[in-house]
């Protein structure tokens, strides 16, 4: 995997609207040089569509790009992504379904979720008992009895990942066939590769304790980067957890891109790869 020369991490957003302050793009070059924040071409907050365009524009670059959302929904546990609906045999079929039934002009999917509240998605007490909606992908069950805090079917609260993930599936639909998306595509010899990331993994690797993973100052960011063997970052005009997550995770990708174990996790089967995908960094 040493062919990668650039490493990008994108903190994503599923919010309504066309410009999103929750999107941030961190970038660093091979080696140990300082990571930086990439701004949208028009100096306004990123749109999801502009992120898609940026990725396609760099499709031929030797770049590893991580995106912070779930690339698919649970399948193995129940034999379907959305039990009771038209069967989606793999993740690409799910991406196509989300695309076909979402109207947000900037790749959002809030309407897709809203149409299925109470059947597949939990948005509040009126939908029933929350635990009935909690299902996880195989990579989200990191050890026996331990699961990722939130699932793509839980669409309520500050920690929910549902809206970002289904918006991300529309992005993946747009990128499918244009860039390699791991582990759904075979690893190409050249060009950009897109992987799913979980920024908390980078935070833990940088020595930040669980529950305190958000960095909102320059000194804290540089201390975390040093733990990953990276030079201090280029100064930012403002510090928020979206920007610092993206910068820190880009440095983490650079440090771990050559870790063969992360590309060949023992629990990743061909069925899981096709239907659920996997988070890069989960062994």
3-state SS assignment for residue 52: helix
Structural domain includes residue 156: no
Residue 39: what pLDDT? 95
Helix (H) or strand (E) segment spanning residue 74: none
279 belongs to a structural domain: no
- How does pLDDT run across 49-100, given as a tens digit for each residue? 999 999 999 999 999 999 999 999 999 999 999 999 878 999 999 999 999 9
Asked whether the beta carbons of 93 and 80 are under 8 A apart, the reply is no
* Mean pLDDT value across residues 111-136: 95
Question: Do residues 270 and 228 lie in contact, with contact meaning Cβ atoms separated by under 8 Å?
Answer: no
Whole domain around residue 217: which residue ranges? 6-71+176-263
Side by side, which strands form the sheet with 6-11? 36-38, 24-29, 6-11, 63-67, 193-196, 180-181
Q: What is the pLDDT of residue 141?
A: 87
181 domain-assigned: yes
pLDDT value, residue 44 = 92
272 in any annotated domain: no
- Residue 150 or residue 153, greater confidence: 153
Task: Over range 203-226, report the average pLDDT.
Answer: 85
pLDDT digits (tens, 9 = 90+) for 6-52: 999 999 999 999 999 999 999 999 999 999 999 999 889 999 999 99
Residue 53 in any domain: the answer is yes
Query: Please, what is the end-to-end C-alpha distance for the chain in angstroms?
Result: 17
Q: Is the pLDDT of residue 144 over 80?
A: no
Per-residue pLDDT, 106: 96
Given a cut of 60, whether residue 146 has pLDDT beyond it is no
Residues whose CB falls within 8 Å of the CB of residue 170, separated by 6 or more in sequence, listed in order: 48, 95, 98, 99, 102, 107, 108, 109
Q: What is the mean pLDDT of residues 142-156?
A: 76
- CATH number for the domain spanning 234: value is 3.30.420
Does residue 58 lie in a domain region? Answer: yes
Residue 142 has pLDDT above 80, yes or no: no
Q: Report the pLDDT averaged over residues 167-187.
A: 97
Does residue 154 sit within a domain? no
pLDDT band at 213 (very low <50, low <70, confident <90, very high): low
Average pLDDT, rounded, for the chain:
93
**CA 102, CA 100: separation in Å to the nearest integer?**
6
* Averaged pLDDT, 99-117: 95
Whether residue 210 has pLDDT greater than 80: no
User: pLDDT-based confidence at 167, cuts 50/70/90?
Assistant: very high
Number of domains making up the chain: 1
pLDDT > 90 in the chain, percent: 82
For residue 185, CA distances in Å to 164, 190, 263, 281, 283 come to 22, 13, 12, 18, 19
80 within domain boundaries: no
DSSP letter, residue 80 = S
pLDDT at 267 over 90: yes
The full DSSP string for 229-249 is T-PPPPP-SS--HHHHHHHHH
**Contact between 187 and 280 (Cβ < 8 Å):** no
Residue 1 pLDDT: 55
């Amino acid at each position: 995997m040493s062919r990668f020369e650039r490493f990008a991490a994108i903190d994503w957003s599923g919010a309504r609207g066309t410009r999103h302050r929750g999107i941030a793009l961190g970038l660093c070059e091979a080696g140990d040089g300082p990571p930086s924040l990439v701004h949208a071409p028009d100096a306004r907050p990123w749109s999801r569509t502009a992120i898609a365009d940026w990725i396609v524009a760099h499709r031929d670059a030797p770049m590893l790009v991580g995106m912070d959302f779930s690339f698919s929904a649970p399948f193995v546990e129940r034999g379907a992504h959305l039990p009771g609906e038209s069967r989606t045999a793999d993740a690409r079929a799910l991406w196509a379904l989300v695309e076909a039934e979402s109207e947000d002009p900037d790749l959002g999917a809030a309407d897709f979720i809203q149409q299925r509240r109470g059947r597949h998605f939990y948005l509040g007490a009126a939908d029933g008992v929350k635990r009935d909606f909690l299902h996880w992908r195989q990579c989200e069950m990191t050890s026996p009895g331990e699961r990722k805090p939130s699932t793509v079917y839980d669409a309520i609260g500050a920690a929910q990942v549902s809206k970002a993930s289904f918006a991300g599936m529309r992005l993946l639909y747009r990128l499918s066939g244009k860039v390699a998306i791991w582990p759904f595509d075979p690893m190409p010899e050249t060009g950009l590769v897109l992987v799913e990331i979980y920024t908390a993994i980078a935070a833990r690797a940088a020595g930040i304790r669980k529950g305190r993973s958000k960095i909102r100052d320059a000194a804290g960011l540089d201390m975390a980067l040093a733990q990953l063997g990276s030079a201090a970052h280029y100064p930012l005009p403002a510090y928020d957890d979206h920007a610092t997550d993206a910068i820190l995770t880009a440095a983490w990708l650079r440090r771990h891109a050559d870790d063969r174990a992360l590309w060949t996790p023992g629990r990743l089967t061909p069925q899981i790869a096709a239907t659920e995908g996997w988070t890069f960094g989960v062994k």
